[in-house]
Amino acid sequence: MASSRLADQVAELLDKSGPLSVVQAGDPVLRQQAVAYDGQLDDDLLGRLIVRMRETMESINSAVGLAAPQIGLSLGLAVLATPEALADRLIKRGQQPVPFTVLINPSYQAVGRRRVGGYEGCLSVPGWQAVVARPDRIKVTRQDEAGQQLVEEYEGIGARIVQHETDHLGGRLYLDGAELRSFSTTEQVVERWGATGPGAAAEQLGFALP
């Protein structure tokens, strides 16, 4: 995508008030390899886009991430954070809340062999969740909004969110790696497995966890 065309597309998105519209499964942009960000937007436009993506993510109940393809932009950019409302619950489970983070051109690799199954949902597949087995610890290479190159390690919920959002930039949805026997409405996941986790779901629905 030419820089001027991308800039025009972003400006058009930002010209509309309110949360940005989230693209739904079936739109080809969600299945494309996103174009790497290499300065196609000036600093002001990039900053405004990140702010609007954050506002959109935070306007949706329980959302923990949003990738540029989900707002119709084929661009290597995503934002993520765990909502404050989830922080106490995560800490009680021995997990660390994830602060607001910008991922530009991210990539990841597993650290160690441990994989963990966990329920995931997606703003582009609303109302449904499924168990996905992922590495529990990863090393991430990314740029931040200032263009700084960073190499970091994430584990637990942070690792899962980073993998989910980075996969969006590669044209993947969480369903591509999901255990389909676990596929459930979000309501069922909350009511049946919210307190017990995927272990009980695996036993009762008949699928294996790593």
Asked which of 22-31, 100-109, 144-153, 188-197 is least confident by mean pLDDT, the reply is 188-197
Residue 84: predicted pLDDT = 82
**Binding site for Fe cation, residues?**
122, 164, 168
Residue 60: predicted pLDDT = 94
Give the residue-averaged pLDDT of 172-183.
97
CA dist 210 and 117 (Å) reads 7
Q: What is the pLDDT of residues 157-170, one digit of tens each?
A: 999 999 999 999 99
Give the residue-averaged pLDDT of 51-66.
95
In order of start, what are the domains of the chain with their CATH numbers?
A: 3-116+136-174 (3.90.45.10)
Which one, of 192, 209, 204, 168, lies nearest residue 31 by Cα? 168
Active site residue 84: no
Residue 176's pLDDT band, with cuts at 50, 70 and 90, is very high
Q: Determine which one of 84, 165, 179, 187 is catalytic.
A: 165
Q: Among residues of the chain, what percentage have pLDDT more than 90? A: 88
Q: What is the 3-state secondary structure (H, E, C) of the chain?
A: CCHHHHHHHHHHHHCCCCCCCCCCCCCHHHHCCCECCCCCCCHHHHHHHHHHHHHHHHHCCCCCEEEHHHHCCCECEEEECCCHHHHHHHHHCCCCCCCCEEEEEEEEEECCCCEEEEEEEECCEEEEEEEEEEECEEEEEEECCCCCEEEEEEEHHHHHHHHHHHHHHCCCCHHHHEEEEEEEEHHHHHHHHCCCCHHHHHHHHCCCCC
User: Is 1's pLDDT higher than 80?
Assistant: no
Residue 13: predicted pLDDT = 95
Residue 2's pLDDT band, with cuts at 50, 70 and 90, is low
**Predicted TM-score (pTM) of this structure:** 0.94
Q: What is the mean pLDDT of the chain?
A: 95
Residue with tokens 């119709």: 72
* Structure token digits, residue 134: 């992922």
Q: What is the pLDDT of residues 81-124, one digit of tens each?
A: 998 877 777 777 788 889 999 999 999 999 999 999 999 999 99
